[in-house]
């Protein structure tokens, strides 16, 4: 089995080869996959992210959630604890500012939200397995942030980010779903049902 470092290097090399058209179309398909999920539709509160370069661009999903009246929380760096927490945003154009690692995040005036109280989380990553394992960037921020999360989680990435297996550690969070432009895996079922493949 490849190490986490080796997997990151291989997957990142594949992502660099994707054209802007492919990533734009793939991101749009991911938005459609997520909004079709019954758990998304029935959720009152969602945990979303603002993408870094190379990640699926799901800003449309954030705006759709706000427009539909959902409580929307986004990761924000907390310098006191040197980790991330969830803060609620109401308007992306005023509530999101440039953050510590070059990604937009809620400003300190946005109210904190207990992660355990949220219904649905969309989770980025470097790589995913069809059974819900996730490989992050290596700092463990998302694993710590989602440790208290009890809702439905959906890992999102491009098809090139699906790998057959990866090493796991006790703190690694397992996902409910993994979605790519080419498929959706329900990781909670014993058969790891792949749905909506086209």
The predicted pLDDT at position 193 comes to 54
Q: What is the mean pLDDT of the chain?
A: 90
User: How would residue 194 be classed by pLDDT, with cut points 50, 70 and 90?
Assistant: low
Q: Which two tokens stand for residue 9?
A: 């290097």
Comparing CA positions, the residue from 55, 74, 79 lying closest to residue 63 is 74
Contact between 42 and 70 (Cβ < 8 Å) = no
The mean per-residue pLDDT over the stretch 106-121 comes to: 95
Q: Distance between CA atoms of 72 and 129, rounded to whole angstroms?
A: 27
What are the domain boundaries of the chain?
Answer: 4-189
pTM (predicted TM-score): 0.91
Digit-coded pLDDT (tens) for 154-193: 999 999 999 999 988 877 788 999 999 999 999 987 544 5
The predicted pLDDT at position 198 comes to 47
The predicted pLDDT at position 18 comes to 95
The predicted pLDDT at position 4 comes to 86
CB atoms under 10 Å from CB of 139, counted, come to: 11
Indicate if the alpha-carbon torsion angle 143, 145, 146, 152 is positive or negative.
Answer: negative
The predicted pLDDT at position 156 comes to 97
The predicted pLDDT at position 101 comes to 74
Q: Distance between CA atoms of 29 and 21, rounded to whole angstroms?
A: 12
CA end-to-end span of the chain, whole Å? Answer: 29
Which CATH number applies to 4-189: 3.20.20.140, 3.10.20.30, 1.10.760.10, 3.40.50.10420?
Answer: 3.40.50.10420
Q: Distance between CA atoms of 80 and 99, rounded to whole angstroms?
A: 15
Contact between 31 and 182 (Cβ < 8 Å) = no
Digit-coded pLDDT (tens) for 130-155: 999 999 887 778 888 888 899 999 99
Digit-coded pLDDT (tens) for 27-70: 999 999 999 999 999 999 999 999 988 899 999 999 999 999 99
Q: Pairing relation of β-strands 177-180 and 183-186?
A: antiparallel
The mean per-residue pLDDT over the stretch 99-121 comes to: 92
Comparing CA positions, the residue from 158, 148, 143, 195 lying closest to residue 38 is 195
Indicate if the alpha-carbon torsion angle 2, 48, 174, 37 is positive or negative.
Answer: negative
């Amino acid at each position: 089995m490849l190490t986490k470092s080796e997997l990151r290097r291989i997957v990142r090399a594949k992502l660099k080869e994707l054209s802007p058209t492919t990533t734009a179309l793939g991101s749009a398909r991911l938005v459609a996959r997520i909004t079709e999920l019954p758990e998304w539709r029935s959720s009152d509160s969602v945990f979303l992210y603002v993408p870094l370069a190379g990640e699926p661009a799901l800003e449309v999903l954030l705006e759709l959630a706000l427009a539909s009246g959902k409580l929307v929380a986004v990761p924000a760096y907390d310098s006191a604890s040197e980790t991330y927490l969830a803060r609620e945003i109401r308007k992306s154009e005023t509530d999101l500012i440039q953050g510590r690692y070059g990604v937009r995040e809620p400003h300190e005036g946005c109210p904190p939200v207990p992660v355990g109280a949220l219904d649905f989380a969309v989770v980025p990553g470097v790589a995913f397995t069809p059974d819900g394992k996730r490989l992050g960037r290596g700092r463990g921020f998302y694993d710590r942030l989602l440790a208290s999360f009890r809702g439905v989680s959906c890992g999102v990435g491009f098809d090139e980010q699906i790998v057959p297996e990866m090493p796991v550690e006790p703190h690694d969070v397992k996902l409910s779903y993994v979605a790519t432009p080419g498929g959706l895996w329900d990781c909670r079922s014993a058969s790891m049902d792949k749905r909506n493949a086209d």
